[in-house]
A and B are shown apart, each in its own frame.
Chain A
């Protein structure tokens, strides 16, 4: 086998330009597949990490009626915060959130929003709840940059807020925007107004109640509370996982196209090689190689294309990919509307698993593509091959 590798490498390098063209095309495939998958992995990681930091923490306890996809459930989705959470809530290690529907009237326009009350002392989520400054009758409120921009709201603005309390009675008051926060997580920004939990409980006449309790990822979620169900991050981040998976499937079309081009080139080269090198094949057999060895030699020659492509891709690809992993890739405008966390810059993440899997996959496919035409050699008559006669 060592001999075959040695001979194959020599033959391949001796082939010259044809080999290098294949190697260059294949190295592009290597690089683009790794880059694209790295970009998706980086996006996935960033989106999940940001969502955990801003919204989901270490998982959430949901009041049993809460269904984020059914706004009408919000009228029922509230209950007293179980006493088991008191200590952690007091320390700010976990966060409780009360959610209800409301309407704001920025610059005379009407805008339906979700009002979310969160305990001001929470340190778990990145939401800057310390900016809830309550020194007047107005309700202090935080809104995200996107909501603020869309509605022309600035810090310090007073905006009318209307809501419906637990008894179904409409009420209204002014909120004062005490902070505008920047986040990459649209689900804490778009169409949402954050107010202090105690104020919202008072407005809604729901003292001590919440809709969700955001758990701390540093602690095991071992609290069992009647009427509250724990949702792990696996469940909460499923939409991100699904979207990335969907985008990965889209990427597969790209990989298949790239690989097909590279494999077509290798297949073509192999067929041409076997066609042009019949005399050489005959000579190998006459000198004492078995047909199996000759098939192996040609297969290895083809497969070595991928090894050389891997080395070439590493040569120019590692600096390029590393540069992008450090500086990130700026995302085009409009990606905020994707409905999941998209940062302004995505930092691709190239795991060892990704690189190794991609290399092994390409090598395996190259070997198969190299082997298929090489099988012909096994059927060749050495006497005809020696004469270079087409078979």
Chain B
């Protein structure tokens, strides 16, 4: 495990009301995640991986227990504070890329910086840097519809990384990609993790991703079954 703690989770439970009654997605999770970790929450579908990531990302709130991210208790955040936390400190990568279809690659990557109200020249430099890391400089003016799946996911990574957030949450980032593209983007993320000291947390059941993780948290039925440091 790396040094200073960015995320601490204690006795986390998350229940959902379903037509069939109450469903417990997370059932007593205790975890801490430190700076510059390259961690994966792995497990089968329905094990609670995405729910855990959503709560860490302040997109959802705990039913019980406490989740503290960068010193802020998720349960205590109002929607505006949660938005500010995401805006300033968190990056998201989604399975289906979630790029904004009417924007160009440049504009998609620029979007988080617009929300941070950075000035034009600084914004431009940061976007170009980010596109360069991901090898997308020549695609800056393309629209998402003109890109391949791998390229779209690289744009999504560039968008997540452009503001150099402390934490990047990646939910099944390789699910829609072929093996070659998956390895390519995973190598990119490993490199960014090393260079920028960004903490990466994955929710995945893809072996290709698991192969790159330095810490693997296995989740089954909403409980941590295993938490191991790997040799990567």
A residues at B contact (CB < 8 Å)? 3, 6-7, 10-11, 13-15, 279-280, 282-283, 285-293, 381-383, 386
* Known contacts A285-B59, A382-B59; A290 and B100 CB within 8 A of each other: no
Q: Look across to chain B and name the residue whose beta carbon is closest to the beta carbon of A381.
A: B60
Which residues of chain B are near A293, meaning CB under 8 Å? 83
A282 touches B98 (CB 8 A): yes
B101 touches A287 (CB 8 A): no
Known A279-B98, A288-B115; further 16 A-B contacts with Cβ < 8 A: A6-B114, A10-B102, A14-B103, A280-B100, A283-B100, A286-B92, A286-B98, A287-B87, A287-B111, A287-B115, A288-B83, A288-B88, A290-B80, A290-B83, A382-B59, A383-B60
Cα A386 to Cα B57 in complex, Å, equals 13
A279 touches B59 (CB 8 A): no
Which residues of chain B are near A15, meaning CB under 8 Å? 102
B102 touches A286 (CB 8 A): no
- Name 5 interchain pairs, CB-CB below 8 A, sorted by A: A6-B114, A13-B102, A279-B96, A280-B100, A288-B83
Which residues of chain B are near A280, meaning CB under 8 Å? 98, 100-101
Q: Look across to chain B and name the residue whose beta carbon is closest to the beta carbon of A288.
A: B87
Cα A280 to Cα B100 in complex, Å, equals 7
Cα A11 to Cα B108 in complex, Å, equals 12
Q: Select A383's contact among B54, B86, B87, B112, beta carbons within 8 Å.
A: B54
Question: Which residues of chain B in 106-128 are interfacial with respect to chain A, using CB atoms and an 8 Å cutoff?
Answer: 107, 111-112, 114-117
A286 touches B86 (CB 8 A): yes
Which residues of chain A are near B59, meaning CB under 8 Å? 285-286, 382-383, 386
Cα A13 to Cα B60 in complex, Å, equals 32
Q: Look across to chain A and name the residue whose beta carbon is closest to the beta carbon of B60.
A: A383
B86 touches A287 (CB 8 A): yes
Which residues of chain B are near A282, meaning CB under 8 Å? 98
Which residues of chain B are near A383, meaning CB under 8 Å? 50, 54, 59-60
Cα A184 to Cα B109 in complex, Å, equals 68
Which residues of chain B are near A289, meaning CB under 8 Å? 83, 87, 115
How many positions in chain B have a CB within 8 Å of any CB in the partner chain?
Answer: 29
* Known contacts A283-B100, A383-B60; A291 and B79 CB within 8 A of each other: yes
A14 touches B86 (CB 8 A): no
* Known contacts A382-B59, A383-B54; A285 and B98 CB within 8 A of each other: no
Those 6 A-B pairs whose CB atoms lie nearest each other, nearest first: A288-B87, A14-B102, A283-B98, A290-B83, A288-B86, A382-B59
* Shortest distance from the beta carbon of B162 to any chain A beta carbon, whole Å: 11
A285 touches B102 (CB 8 A): no
* Shortest distance from the beta carbon of A306 to any chain B beta carbon, whole Å: 20
Residue B133 lies at the interface, judged by CB distance under 8 Å to chain A? no
Which residues of chain A are near B94, meaning CB under 8 Å? 283, 286, 386
A287 touches B102 (CB 8 A): no
Cα A216 to Cα B97 in complex, Å, equals 79
Residue B190 lies at the interface, judged by CB distance under 8 Å to chain A? no
Question: Which residues of chain B in 8-63 are interfacial with respect to chain A, using CB atoms and an 8 Å cutoff?
Answer: 50, 54, 57, 59-60
* Shortest distance from the beta carbon of A378 to any chain B beta carbon, whole Å: 9
* Shortest distance from the beta carbon of A140 to any chain B beta carbon, whole Å: 79
Which residues of chain A are near B102, meaning CB under 8 Å? 10-11, 13-15
* Shortest distance from the beta carbon of B130 to any chain A beta carbon, whole Å: 14
| Contact bitstring B123-162, A, C-beta under 8 A = 1, else 0 | 0000000000000000000000000000000000001000
Which residues of chain A are near B86, meaning CB under 8 Å? 285-288
Q: Look across to chain B and name the residue whose beta carbon is closest to the beta carbon of A378.
A: B79
Question: Which residues of chain B in 197-229 are interfacial with respect to chain A, using CB atoms and an 8 Å cutoff?
Answer: none
Residue B177 lies at the interface, judged by CB distance under 8 Å to chain A? no
Cα A279 to Cα B84 in complex, Å, equals 20
A286 touches B57 (CB 8 A): yes
Q: Select B79's contact among A286, A290, A386, beta carbons within 8 Å.
A: A290
Cα A288 to Cα B117 in complex, Å, equals 12
Which residues of chain A are near B79, meaning CB under 8 Å? 290-291
Instruction: Give the residue among B57, B100, B117 with the most A Cβ atoms within 10 A.
Output: B100
* Known contacts A383-B60, A386-B94; A288 and B101 CB within 8 A of each other: no
Which residues of chain B are near A288, meaning CB under 8 Å? 83-84, 86-88, 90, 112, 115-116
Cα A15 to Cα B102 in complex, Å, equals 8
Which residues of chain B are near A283, meaning CB under 8 Å? 94, 98, 100
| Contact bitstring B61-101, A, C-beta under 8 A = 1, else 0 | 00000000000000000011001101110101010101011
Which residues of chain A are near B54, meaning CB under 8 Å? 383
* Known contacts A3-B115, A14-B102, A15-B102; A287 and B60 CB within 8 A of each other: no
Cα A365 to Cα B59 in complex, Å, equals 34
Which residues of chain B are near A285, meaning CB under 8 Å? 59, 83, 86
